[in-house]
Amino acid sequence: MEIAILLFEGFDELDAIGPFEVFENAANAGAECTTTLRALEGTSSVTASHGLEVGVDGVLDEANPDLLLVPGGGWNDRERPGAYREAEREAIPEAVAAQYERGGSVAGVCTGGMLLARAGVLDGRPAVTHASALDDLRATGAEVVDARVVDDGDVLTAGGVTSGLDLAVHVVDREFGSEIAAAVRTEMEYEPQGGVHTT
């Protein structure tokens, strides 16, 4: 399984790095998955919302992921780089829509879910985002669900920040089995904090 995490200026560090570590630990435990950090444009690094500079593995167009994970960050502070500016710029929503249209799965962590909503992939589907953006999500075509993680098959969303860990552990369990998911939880000393809404 090929997983790409799409980084952009102002993304929230934990939204992306938490799931990355989960997937890497899954691979170390025997899961057949590869995870890369991607940007839309050619760049060697991206600066996250708290100032962490993160290297990227290449541009998204060079990858053919089974799962595209989009972090959030910066939705409510619209004066700074982040998810809101990316939604207005439209390039990430277009990339999400293209991934979905070609049959790939998409996941949004925190306000990354708003970028999925802007792409139109949440229309008529259950979803969640960071608590501070739930009213914005309700204003889209999504059906807002009270859950940390929502699994609607080829579209997954997670609530705020740490719920990205829950989403990633759920994906590992779903795709690679409970034994590998348990190994990841043990390695990271982490237990998901809430149930997963599945359809």
pLDDT tens-place string over residues 39-69: 999 999 999 999 999 999 999 999 999 999 9
Q: List pLDDT tens digits, range 119-148.
A: 999 999 999 999 999 999 999 999 999 999
CA 79 to chain centre: 23
User: Residue 195: pLDDT band by 50, 70, 90 thresholds?
Assistant: confident
Looking at the predicted structure, is the pLDDT value of residue 19 above 90?
yes
Going from N- to C-terminal start, the domains of the chain cover: 2-194
Residue identified by tokens 């700074």 is 80
pTM listed for this prediction? 0.97
Determine the Cα–Cα distance for residues 41 and 158; give it in Å rounded to an integer: 26
Q: List pLDDT tens digits, range 91-102.
A: 999 999 999 999
pLDDT at 194: 84
pLDDT at 28: 98
pLDDT, the chain, mean: 97
pLDDT at 180: 98
pLDDT at 161: 86
Considering Cα of 34, then 40, then 42, then 43, what sign does the dihedral take?
negative
Looking at the predicted structure, is the pLDDT value of residue 20 above 90?
yes
Q: List pLDDT tens digits, range 72-92.
A: 999 998 889 999 999 999 999
Of residues 155, 186, 159, the one with CA closest to residue 171: 155
129: amino acid identity, one letter: T
The answer to whether domain 2-194 has CATH 3.40.50.880 is: yes
Looking at the predicted structure, is the pLDDT value of residue 8 above 90?
yes
In degrees and rounded to multiples of 5, residue 121 shows phi and psi of -80, -10
Q: List pLDDT tens digits, range 142-190.
A: 999 999 999 999 999 999 989 999 999 999 999 999 999 999 999 999 9
pLDDT at 112: 98
